Amino acid sequence: MNLIFFGPPGGGKGTQARLLQQRRGMVQISTGDILRDAVEAATELGVRARSYMDRGELVPDAVMVGIVEERLRLTDDAAGFILDGFPRTLAQAEALEELLGRLRRRIHRAVDFQVSAETLVRRLGGRRVCQAAGHIYHVEFTPPRRPGVCDLDGSPLYQREDDRPETIRRRMEVYRAQTEPVLEFYRTRGVYAALDAEGTVEEVYARLEAVLGL
């Protein structure tokens, strides 16, 4: 099954995509993680992307479409994939449709993570991410066993640069203005599914499996 995860910053897309990957073997393709790896490695892409990410703006469509095409070509068809954070604009959605047509693949569900603004602020304020592999924690809701250290690989946890209050505000505006209109694109194609993403990680996961019919 091939999925797209939509939702505002902090909606829980990355957390749930990683769970589906662990438990159901689907392949998570997170454009945010790919960009952060490039920034960390200071590649040409990373240097270019950083200026947009630090301001909470979107990286240009042509760059993002190229990245996703490369990843999709490397992904085994049998497992299914989860596009986490892509497409984020109508131009990206149209480019994806064209690309999937060429690869003879399709999207089965576009899941819309619905969360209140109050919850988003609490989730983003406490998020910590592991340096080595991007494992996601929260200081209050899903803390690591040892503060500041990843349970899974022992690497240090850090706070994302774009989780500062002024950047969070801008990311939310960008989501409303540029990404919410893309939901209509998938509604008209009959694959849209709303997900109540409030509650604990396991409560949301149970609802997600139900929405997907797993």
Q: Which residues are catalytic?
A: 13, 88, 127, 160, 171
Q: Which is nearer to ligand AP5, 64 or 78 (CB)?
A: 64
Tell whether residue 7 is a contact of ligand AP5 (CB under 6 A): yes
Tell whether residue 81 is a contact of ligand AP5 (CB under 6 A): no
Instruction: Specify the stretch interacting with ligand AP5 by CB under 6 A; choose among 4-12, 39-47, 101-109, 184-192.
Output: 4-12
Q: Are 137 and 127 in contact (CB under 8 A)?
A: yes
Cα–Cα distance, 24 to 18 (Å, whole number)? 10
Tell whether residue 83 is a contact of ligand AP5 (CB under 6 A): no
Tell whether residue 12 is a contact of ligand AP5 (CB under 6 A): yes
User: Closest residue to ligand AP5, Cβ-based?
Assistant: 32
Which structure tokens are listed for 212?
A: 């997907």
Tell whether residue 56 is a contact of ligand AP5 (CB under 6 A): yes
List the one residue from 121, 191, 193, 201 that touches ligand AP5 (CB under 6 A): 201
List the one residue from 114, 142, 155, 159 that touches ligand AP5 (CB under 6 A): 142
Complete edge-to-edge strand list for the sheet that includes strand 157-158: 136-138, 127-130, 157-158
Amino acid in the structure at residue 93: A
Q: Are 201 and 123 in contact (CB under 8 A)?
A: no
CA nearest 160: which of 28, 4, 6, 14?
14
Tell whether residue 86 is a contact of ligand AP5 (CB under 6 A): yes
**Angle at which helices 44-55 and 61-74 pack, to 10 degrees?**
120
Q: Which residues on neighbouring strands pair with residue 29, listed in sequence order?
A: 83
List the one residue from 4, 27, 29, 58 that touches ligand AP5 (CB under 6 A): 58
Amino acid in the structure at residue 109: R
Q: Which is nearer to ligand AP5, 80 or 134 (CB)?
A: 134
